[in-house]
Amino acid sequence: MGDHMENIDGYLMKYTNLVTGWQYRFFVLNNEAGLLEYFVNEQSRPQKPRGTLPLAGAVISPSDEDSHTFTVNAISGEQYKLRATDAKERQHWVSRLQICTQHHTEAMGKSNPPPKSRSYSMASQGSASSPLSQRRPSQLQNQNAASFFSMTQLHKGSSLYSSKRSLLPDHLLDAREMMTQAQGQHRDLIQTIEGLPPAVGPLSPLDQDLLMLKATSMATMNCLNDCLHILQLQQVARQRSSLGGPTIEWLEPKLPDILKNGGPLDSFSTEGGPLEGSLLELSATEPCSFSGEEIDGEDEVEDAFTEKEEELGAVEEERSVILHLLSQLKLGMDLTRVVLPTFILEKRSLLEMYADFMSHPDLFVAITDGQGPEERMVCFVEYYLTSFHEGRKGAIAKKPYNPIIGESFHCSWRVPRSGEPAKDAPSPPSPPQGSPTTEGEDGSYQLRFVAEQVSHHPPVSGFYAECPERRMCVNTHVWTKSKFMGMSIGVSMIGEGCLYLLEHDEEYTFTLPCAYARSILTVPWVELGGKVTVNCTKSGYSAVITFQTKPFYGGKLHKVTAEVKHNATSAVVCRVQGEWNGVLEFSYQNGDTRMVDVTKLPVTKKRVRPNDKQGPTESRRLWQHVTESLRQKDIEKATEYKRILEERQRTEERHRTETETPWRTRYFESEGEGWMYHKPLWKTPTLKT
């Protein structure tokens, strides 16, 4: 072999599963055998590889999500999602893998040429004017010879797979061959467009219609490839099962019979069993009602809740659960009532996620310090744009727990008047909620937060935060509506928030963006999209914030733009551009600019009471067994605990329906089409202006 076929090795990050995420593994490209092997580390190289992927017929694809990631898709349907340290290293691996893949694919094709009866011309199925019919016969013949052998290899068998039967039936081979021809047409289309002279004739490579055609062709091919990949995985599972090999079960994690739909909850004995404790503190026959007690913040301590990603095992079973779920969904389907598998969950409730959007409380409190209405609006936009990065907690898309109706979450932050957040200072006594809160004994402001799940269908959450000393508070209600979008899941956050600056008698109403979980079959990642408005009627200033989703062809991820405008004159006083999880550039009317790196902003830890000091329906205590099981990587037990909570909620809902008993919220009251905190700051007598 030449120098270009040398063996290479080194560390790459490999995506393991939705729970674990990325893990460093030592990879070896064995050019002679045509295999990509990996080991836990370099020291374990003399041992048997942890995994092996045949490269004959494989597809090596650099990702457009970033400049470091690429995928290796084997002919059997198995996939490695890998990440290099930088773009240069990715290119090195991709080029060597592609050379090795091409060499072994061609060798496989020469030893097993395609039978004449398996030549599928898309032109023969279409009109004589189709693009394929206009190609030269020799060109088409060469393409067939170069592209069909990989699938016919599985049909006929080879030395690489002599110990196994064909994994793909004829109809999937046909589909793969037709896909190969379609990919050839796509490449020809792109080359033709890009080969047009820039300034000769009626068309140019930058013509808007041609650019749209390129993007549409690319998106179509990506979608078809994903669909074919799903079909191949399903067929591989069926064939392996029939051969007595490893079986991929297309089911959710197994549950005890009593936890399946229709199973009686009361037949589960809790004496000494795994489900004892606060999970069952609420009787299944007793409605989840509340007393009038208030939350005492004196017991709050700085949050020590941190998560470490650890390996959980093979991804095949988990991927099969996702595929099984996807097979039951339709485009546009409302996912509100769909129970998602437990292993894709974050270890926190949605109510706590809303609290994490307040992780920069110093920016929030600083809004009211603005010298004029224009500056205060810009400060609010800055706080708004910087809140999403920490709230999401990482690049991999995971789903928080769906809050149970009546569930609540409480926390607070110490906001220093200047300098770094105060640490290890004793918590000052907190007066009853709704009355003025004095500053902390260490001289810091105190910002308090409460959230409650006020409705189950539709799922509506209310959350409220206040800093009495600064005479400011914010009230928000959100209805999360999820929809299946093929290879993505979209979440619309329907609702409205309002920031009240009592010192200035100003109210800032705002909306929320949509969120998307992309690439749900591989490494799901979060994207925000949509247009958000902020308006202050009294000052006459408004803002429009646009979260831009990545286009099909090219473009950057996580882009956001914003404009702050004076409504009376239509003058734009500030523009913002950048990434909501990266660097933001603020440009002012006078020509000044300012950069804000969201990733370098100090994060103030919230203060939360320990679980044993919380009420039975507070988020962390309510979900503690699910969270602990996920930490212990016991997905089956986590699923059991989650199912019991959800079944209790259904039982109580049926009981309220039968007895015509309305649900009574604790902290929020229905007001028009929204929900308002029952003791907002402006109703506090000593704080009224």
Q: Would you list the DSSP string of 189-223? A: HHHHHHTS-TTSSS--TT-HHHHHHHHHHHHHHHH
- Phi, psi at 393, each rounded to 5°: 55, 65
Top-confidence residue, 410 or 215: 410
* CA pair distance 666, 684, nearest whole angstrom: 18
Phi, psi of 492 (to 5 degrees): -90, 125
- Is pLDDT above 70 for 336? no
Q: What is the pLDDT of residue 364?
A: 95
In DSSP terms, 583 is beta-bridged to 597
Q: How many CB atoms lie within 10 A of CB 77?
A: 18
Q: What integer best gives the mean pLDDT of the chain? A: 74
- Sorted by where each starts, the structural domains of the chain and their CATH numbers stand as 8-109 (2.30.29.30), 310-417+443-620+661-677 (2.40.160.120)
7 falls in which pLDDT band (50, 70, 90)?
Answer: confident
Given pLDDT bands bounded at 50, 70 and 90, which one contains residue 598?
very high
**Choice between 153 and 622, residue whose per-residue pLDDT is larger:** 622
Buried b / exposed e over 629-668, threshold 16 CB at 10 Å, is bbeeebbebbbbbbbbbebbbeebeeeeeeeeeeeebbbb
Confidence of residue 413 (pLDDT cuts 50, 70, 90): very high
**Per-residue model confidence (pLDDT) at position 478:** 93
Of 301-310, 476-485, 599-608, 648-657, minimum mean pLDDT range: 301-310
What share of the chain in percent tops pLDDT 90?
31
Q: What is the pLDDT of residue 550?
A: 75
**Do strands 668-671 and 674-677 pair parallel, antiparallel, or not at all (unpaired)?**
antiparallel
Please tell me whether residue 460 adopts helix, strand or coil conformation: strand
- Where residue 521 falls among pLDDT bands split at 50, 70, 90? low
In this prediction, residues 442-455 reach a mean pLDDT of 90
CA end-to-end span of the chain: 84
Q: What is the DSSP-derived secondary structure letter of residue 184?
A: H
In the chain, the amino acid numbered 386 is: T
Does residue 415 contact residue 467 with C-beta atoms inside 8 Å?
A: yes
Which spans in 75-207 are helix H? 87-111, 122-125, 137-147, 149-156, 170-194
pLDDT at 295: 65
C-alpha–C-alpha distance, residues 466 and 431, integer Å:
14
Tens-place pLDDT, residues 137-146:
333 333 333 3
pLDDT reading at 30 higher than 50: yes
Q: What is the DSSP string of 261-321?
A: TT--GGGS--SSSTT-SGGG-S-TTS-----S----GGG-EE------------SHHHHHH
Dmax (CA) of the chain: 90
Q: pLDDT tier at 443 (50, 70, 90 boundaries)? A: confident
Cα(383)–Cα(604) distance, integer angstroms: 14
Report the pLDDT value the prediction gives residue 492, as an integer from 0 to 100. Answer: 85
Alpha helices in 569-634 (DSSP H): 619-622, 624-631
pLDDT at 462: 96
CB 432 within 8 A of CB 648: no
How far apart are the C-alpha atoms of 60 and 213, rounded to whole Å? 24
Residue 354's pLDDT is 92
CB atoms within 10 A of CB 581: 19
List the beta strands (DSSP E) in 416-502: 445-455, 460-467, 472-484, 489-501
From residue 4, how far is each of 7, 89, 148, 500, 591 by CA, in Å?
A: 9, 16, 26, 66, 53
Token digits of residue 136: 């030269």
For the chain, percent of residues with pLDDT exceeding 70? 64
Alpha carbon distance 163, 600 (integer Å): 55
> Residue 148: left (phi > 0), alpha (psi -120 to 50), or beta?
alpha
> Is 641 or 483 the better-scoring residue by pLDDT?
641
Residue 288's CB: how many other CB atoms inside 10 A? 18
Strand 51-54, strand 345-349: pairing: unpaired
What are the C-alpha distances in Å from 405 to residues 278, 452, 549, 650? 17, 8, 32, 10
Residue appearing with tokens 């592609």: 98
Quick check: 108 and 154 in contact, CB under 8 A?
no
- The tens digit of pLDDT for each residue in 78-91 reads 888 899 988 889 88
Taking 70 as the threshold, does the pLDDT of residue 217 lie above it?
Answer: yes
List residues bridging with 24 in a β-sheet. 13
